[in-house]
Amino acid sequence: MVSASELEELARRAEVDGTAPRVGAIIDRAGQVLLLERHDSGPRKAPLKLPGATVKRGESLGEALVRGVREETGLVVTEISHHVGDFDYLSPDARPVRRLHFAVTVAAFEPIHLSAHARYVWAPLDGELAVTSSIRAILGAYRNLADH
């Protein structure tokens, strides 16, 4: 289980590095991970994403993670079990962002109620996932963690 002090240190490092923290949740159902599909209006299909949220001012990483999963899927996080990894990128308005990813346990895998996405899929971790290379690396790290 990830401790409050670990979460605080990750948030502090993001702040020191000048990055805005975002959180992503890996929800594993017997080797399948929950991925969300954005509403697509362009000619190219957007990659699938993990549920998550932008951390609001005054909110802890854990609070943001629980809120983001609840808001995007309706699922209730009961435990943050592992910090899996993170990556930095520039937001569309060119601000540095750090996306921190955590394996979580949820009270139940259904029902899923989407608020801002077109659909969801339970995708096998050992399959070819339609995600960005950064998310693919995070899921690879998670797979390695789960194997040990």
Q: Domain range for residue 86? A: 4-147
Q: Please work out, in degrees rounded to the nearest 5, the angle formed at the alpha carbon of residue 49 by the alpha carbons of 48 and 51.
A: 140
CA distance 73 to 81: 19
Q: What is the pLDDT of residues 8-52, one digit of tens each?
A: 999 999 999 999 999 999 999 999 999 999 887 666 777 899 999
Q: Indicate the number of domains in the chain.
A: 1
pTM of the predicted model, to two decimals?
Answer: 0.94
